[in-house]
């Protein structure tokens, strides 16, 4: 199975700050990487797929980049509503696997 | 509007089975694979498997083979997951999620909590 190592595990950011979350795959996943946001007590929601394609309705302050085994998601100008846990997920090979999650809070 | 409506919480005894439903609406059921995901309390997400509603074809995470069985009812546009021989390790929230062309899960059910306890 492909292992997805996500960092940091938790993070606190101020409103307006830029936040970066990274995901490292145990092997090349050829751009098959998505990011999900899960707010407390809610279902995960798709933010970004294929590394950098924003899902409809997702604010443009979210962006993704990366290649090979290294990927990242950036939030430009953190907002209070961005408080959530974020997960990466590879869709290159089954079983699909998720990162351990990054809990993002407001400082 | 795409909606995935899951069945309610379950409290089941060890060794029993449970069947969770995921009723869909707002899109053509047979055009999208349906995946199932497990989230143990406070932990990350695990992909259980997926089913093609068009032909019933399934793909499972090896870890869940023998534990989970995925089926669909095209007439009611509903997907099902049955979990058998339940133990405390199966206590979790289970989600159904529609899969888009990029193999990303673009719509999720609200989750079904399964608690295994005597």
Question: Chain B 16-55, CB below 8 Å of chain A: which residues?
Answer: 35, 37, 44-47
HEC letters along chain A: CCCEEEECCEEEECCCCCEEEEEEECCCCCCCEEEEEECCCCCCEEEEECCCEECCCCCCCEEEEEECCEEEEEECCCCHHHCEEEEEEECCCCCCEECCCEEEEEC
Q: What is the mean pLDDT of each run of 10 residues along chain B (118 residues)?
A: 98 98 98 98 91 97 97 98 98 98 97 97
Question: Is the confidence at residue A39, as pLDDT, over 80?
Answer: yes
Residue A74: per-residue pLDDT: 98
Interchain pair B105, A34: CB under 8 A: yes
What is the rounded end-to-end Cα distance, in angstroms, of chain A?
36
Distance CA B102, CA A34 (A): 9
Residue of B nearest to A35 (CA): B104
What is the spatial distance between Cα B43 and Cα B10, in angstroms, rounded to a whole number?
20
How many Å apart are CA B102 and CA B23, to the nearest integer?
A: 23
Pairing of strands A10-13, A102-106: parallel
| Average pLDDT rounded to a whole number, residues A51-76 | 98
Query: By the CB < 8 Å criterion, does B109 face chain A?
Result: yes
Share of chain A above pLDDT 90, in %: 100
Nearest to A62 by CA among A45, A40, A47: A47
Q: Among A51-60, A87-96, B35-44, name the one with the lowest average pLDDT.
A: B35-44
Chain B residue with CA closest to A56: the answer is B106
* Residues in chain B closer than 8 A to A101 (CB atoms): 44-45
Q: What mean pLDDT is predicted for residues A39-68?
A: 97
């Amino acid at each position: 199975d492909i292992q997805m190592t996500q960092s940091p595990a938790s993070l606190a950011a101020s409103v307006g700050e830029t936040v970066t979350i990274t995901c490292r795959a145990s092997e090349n996943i050829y751009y098959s990487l998505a990011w999900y946001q899960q707010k407390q007590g809610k279902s995960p929601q798709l933010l970004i797929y294929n590394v950098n394609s924003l899902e409809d309705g997702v604010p443009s302050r979210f962006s993704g980049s990366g290649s090979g085994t290294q990927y990242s998601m950036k939030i430009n100008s953190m907002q209070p509503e961005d408080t959530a846990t974020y997960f990466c997920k590879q869709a290159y090979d089954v079983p699909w696997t998720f990162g351990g999650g990054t809990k993002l809070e407001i400082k | 509007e795409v909606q995935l409506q899951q069945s309610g919480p379950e409290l089941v005894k060890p060794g029993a089975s449970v069947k969770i439903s995921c009723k869909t609406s707002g899109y053509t059921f047979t055009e999208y694979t349906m995946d199932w995901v497990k989230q143990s309390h406070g932990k990350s997400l695990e992909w259980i498997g997926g089913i093609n509603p068009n032909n019933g074809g399934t793909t499972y995470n090896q870890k869940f083979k023998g534990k989970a069985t995925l089926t669909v009812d095209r007439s009611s546009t509903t997907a099902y997951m049955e979990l058998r021989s339940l133990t405390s390790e199966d206590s979790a929230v289970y989600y159904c999620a529609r899969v888009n062309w990029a193999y990303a899960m673009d719509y999720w059910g609200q989750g079904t909590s399964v608690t295994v306890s005597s």
